[in-house]
Structure 1
Amino acid sequence: MKVVILDTYYPRFLKSFYAEHAGLSHASSQEQTQALLKAAFGTSDFYSRHLNSLGVDAHDLVANCVPLQKMWATENDVSFSAWALRLPHRTFRLPVIGAQLAALPGLMEVAIAQIRSLKPDVLYCQDLSFFPGEVLKDLKSDVRLIVGQIACPLPPESFLKGYDLILTSFPHFVSRLRALGVASAYFRIGFDTRVLDLLGKVQRDIGASFVGGISRHHGKAVPLLEYLATNTPIEFFGYGAKTLPRSSAIRKRHHGEVWGLDMYRALARSRIALNRHIDVAENNANNMRLYEATGVGSLLITDRKDNLGEIFEVGKEVVAYSSQEEAAELIRYYLDHPEEAAAIARAGQARTLREHTYRHRMEELVPVLERHLGARRP
């Protein structure tokens, strides 16, 4: 089974990464891809590496990285077009949505050319907003199974209809997608142990932190974070702080953007890591921070959700809060009781390494893909 994993990276990360790696844009597409994957941004090669170890022929595409995609196009004699996307059967107009691909002419063409050159059995899309439904429909002449994965707000329905299967870490999305006539299943995310090797030994010199973004999708979190900034010694890392008023208590303790390994390092430096889900998660625990924080051995204090107990044992492996006041109280308590905090953190890390790694997830994913591929055989 051959699988192409298509992902898009945050433009802010890509801009920062290429600024820090002068000359990388002139390297081969393979060298650029490897450099990006080594940075451990997002899910990096956490899927492909374990799939390959399980006997799957897996390939990573970072579809919205302009220098990388331009170099691949040059190497393979594929030219960037203007705004129109030309396929053998029809011509499409690039939509203004998703990974800002409409502002980057040719990116979709290059991604399609890459997919067709690789001829995968499965196209696995980590960004459901990248390909419009009509493009996915056209790709089905080259790909047997098109799978999407989502843990963010759903794109328009027209983008969903082209998928043969959509996996989601939001339990409540499964029934909603099925109601639209799209096959869907619950699939959790996880932690990759390679991060621990890349980080090495990290000194825990931060008492408590929130490492994450501040955006319109985190609207309900801002009052909580402001309260904690005023009532606890919590520190902040991530993007979006500049959108807050200058008087914000968060901004006074914010240390800027951290991406990839720097993000993991900020978590690993923290004895306590606060987590808060985006609004669209509703009452379900699902996000990457659950596994990233516990994976690096920090005490996770997270918002209480209905299914949290299915992932971790609350009170013994992680700690949960139901209000901003309770969150502040828990942070202060565990800062004052470091041995108790460390014991829960160790138990949380052990649970993640035992059950929630990407090796475990890929062992779960392979039979799902094989089953759906088998169902689509002529």
Structure 2
Amino acid sequence: MRLFQNSGLYPSYVARLNQLAAKTRSFAERRDVFLDDRFGAAHFLQPVLDGSPDAFFTNGDDEILQRRWAREQGMAGEPAPEAILLAQIEHHRTEVFYNMDPVRYPSAFVARLPASVKATLCWRAAPSGNADLTAYGAVLGNFPSILESWRAKGCRAEFFFPAHDPVMDEYGHGERPIDVLFAGGYSRHHAARAKILESVAGLAHRFHVVYRLDASRLTRLAESAIGRWLPLRSHRRPDVVVGIAQPPVFGRQLYELMGEAKIVLNGAIDMAGRDRGNMRCFEAMGCGALLLSDAGRYPDGMDPDATISVYETGGDCVAQIENCLNDWSEVRKKAEMGRRTVRDLYSKVRQWALFGKLLDNL
């Protein structure tokens, strides 16, 4: 099987990637630096991470990366990102196209794929507006309610899951000086999460609470000197949150922080309903921290009685944190069980096997 996996970058991650890859000159060097940093590795299929000669990986929205490939292949002028991606697929003689960035490359792009491509799948588990993904053989995700919304739009939608990244086994085997860690986004899609963060931030005078927040563009503007004069109050973070907020972290930096944290706090995006199991759950458990997340329907193995802890409200979340930290020697056993469970149930081997089954049924 000749597999092509396309992904994308968070805008706030680009600066870190450019720093890590500053001395690279070729497409392959920059791509390998990215893959080694493990940003998004829970979603990358086993042949990609293994470096299989039949697997090709790129970030179609990484202009530096893609233009290097275009120059190396002798493409004339300044080709558009879509043209470069199509040329890569044709050059690779791709048979299976798996796209992690389908809103950027929707059905209109699929219609232009070369004849070598026999199967197309994409992952989408986030707000998507009016994106048309009906031309894909299947839309994959692990939130049943979102899968149903794609079916209502005429797509075939199938269950799939992020997987435990084996590199996470390198982290979290020493002391855990951080009591509570939250790393994630802060935007209009996170209203419920914002209330929890405000409640937990109040513990910062008693415990070591670390927030590494990826704030939205409007939030950054609202908190700027100019933004204070604009009608953007609803986009400003509470002072108690701003007081401990630090810039976002990704990849191995995130793994390292999770390996130093007793508790990793999580909150689902509002549009997921009661479905739970975002990538942060897999990362936190995989690095051996106790996952403390909002109550809801979790995937197999994420059991509030055995491997994770859950909260209902901000006050309940604060109480859960205090109880866990006051009894950490026992709670740590729960976190360790979570680590073993996510490693066993959601391995890269199982993820790849399920991908193969999905292909067989397209």
TM (normalized to structure 2)? Answer: 0.88
Give the SS at the match of 1:111. helix
Residue 195 of structure 1 deviates from its aligned partner by 2.7
Q: Which residue of 2 aligns with 1:62?
A: 59
Out of 142, 152, 170, the position equivalent to 1:179 is: 152
* Whole-angstrom CA distance in 1 between matches of 2:3 and 2:199: 45
Query: Letter of the aligned partner of 1:219 in structure 2?
Result: A
Residue 44 of structure 1 deviates from its aligned partner by 7.0
Unpaired segments of 5 or more residues in structure 2? 224-235
1:313 equivalent in alignment to 2:285: no
Query: Letter of the aligned partner of 1:303 in structure 2?
Result: D
* Whole-angstrom CA distance in 2 between matches of 1:117 and 1:71: 15
Out of 41, 44, 49, the position equivalent to 1:43 is: 41
Out of 325, 328, 335, the position equivalent to 2:315 is: 325
Residue 16 of structure 1 deviates from its aligned partner by 2.5
Query: Any residues of structure 2 matched to 1:163-312 within 5 Å, and which?
Result: 163-197=136-170, 199=171, 201-231=173-203, 233=207, 234-240=209-215, 243=220, 245=236, 248-305=239-296, 307-308=297-298, 310-312=300-302
CA distances 1:33-54 after superposition (whole Å, capped 9, x unpaired): 101100111127841437869x
Residue 58 of structure 1 deviates from its aligned partner by 2.0
Q: Which residue of 2 aligns with 1:363?
A: 353
* Whole-angstrom CA distance in 2 between matches of 1:30 and 1:231: 45
Query: Letter of the aligned partner of 1:39 in structure 2?
Result: D
* Whole-angstrom CA distance in 1 between matches of 2:122 and 2:165: 21
Give the SS at the match of 1:167. strand
1:73 equivalent in alignment to 2:64: no
Residue 6 of structure 1 deviates from its aligned partner by 0.5
Residue 299 of structure 1 deviates from its aligned partner by 0.7
TM (normalized to structure 1)? Answer: 0.84
Q: Is the 8 A contact 1:237 1:258 kept in 2?
A: yes
Please report the RMSD computed on the Cα atoms of aligned residues, expressed in angstroms: 2.3
Q: Is the 8 A contact 1:302 1:321 kept in 2?
A: yes
Query: Any residues of structure 2 matched to 1:120-199 within 5 Å, and which?
Result: 120-139=94-113, 141-158=115-132, 160-197=133-170, 199=171
1:348 equivalent in alignment to 2:338: yes
CA distances 1:192-227 after superposition (whole Å, capped 9, x unpaired): 112323x47553110111121212221221121011
Query: Letter of the aligned partner of 1:238 in structure 2?
Result: L
Q: Is the 8 A contact 1:48 1:60 kept in 2?
A: no
* Worse-superposed segment, 254-263 or 201-210: 201-210
* Whole-angstrom CA distance in 1 between matches of 2:43 and 2:281: 19
* Whole-angstrom CA distance in 1 between matches of 2:167 and 2:361: 29
Quickly say closer, same or farther: Cα 1:225–1:56, change in 2 above 3 A.
same
Out of 15, 21, 32, the position equivalent to 1:34 is: 32
Quickly say closer, same or farther: Cα 1:62–1:246, change in 2 above 3 A.
closer
Q: Which residue of 2 aligns with 1:92?
A: none
Q: Is the 8 A contact 2:304 2:310 kept in 1?
A: yes
Residue 347 of structure 1 deviates from its aligned partner by 1.0
Quickly say closer, same or farther: Cα 1:200–1:79, change in 2 above 3 A.
farther
Quickly say closer, same or farther: Cα 1:70–1:231, change in 2 above 3 A.
same
Query: Letter of the aligned partner of 1:248 in structure 2?
Result: D
* Worse-superposed segment, 174-183 or 221-230: 174-183
Residue 29 of structure 1 deviates from its aligned partner by 0.6
Higher relative contact order (CA 8 A, sep 6+): 2
* Whole-angstrom CA distance in 2 between matches of 1:22 and 1:351: 38
CA distances 1:25-72 after superposition (whole Å, capped 9, x unpaired): xx111111101100111127841437869x893221111111111110
Give the SS at the match of 1:37. helix
Unpaired segments of 5 or more residues in structure 1? 83-105, 373-378
Query: Letter of the aligned partner of 2:112 in structure 1?
Result: D
Q: How much identity, in percent, do the aligned residues show?
A: 23
Quickly say closer, same or farther: Cα 1:172–1:200, change in 2 above 3 A.
closer
Give the SS at the match of 1:61. strand
* Whole-angstrom CA distance in 1 between matches of 2:325 and 2:143: 32
Give the SS at the match of 2:263. strand
Query: Letter of the aligned partner of 2:162 in structure 1?
Result: I
Residue 173 of structure 1 deviates from its aligned partner by 2.1
Alignment size in residue pairs:
343
Q: Is the 8 A contact 2:180 2:263 kept in 1?
A: yes
Query: Letter of the aligned partner of 1:265 in structure 2?
Result: E
CA distances 1:158-211 after superposition (whole Å, capped 9, x unpaired): 3x12211111111112222222221111112122112323x4755311011112
Q: Is the 8 A contact 1:73 1:80 kept in 2?
A: no
Quickly say closer, same or farther: Cα 1:347–1:44, change in 2 above 3 A.
closer
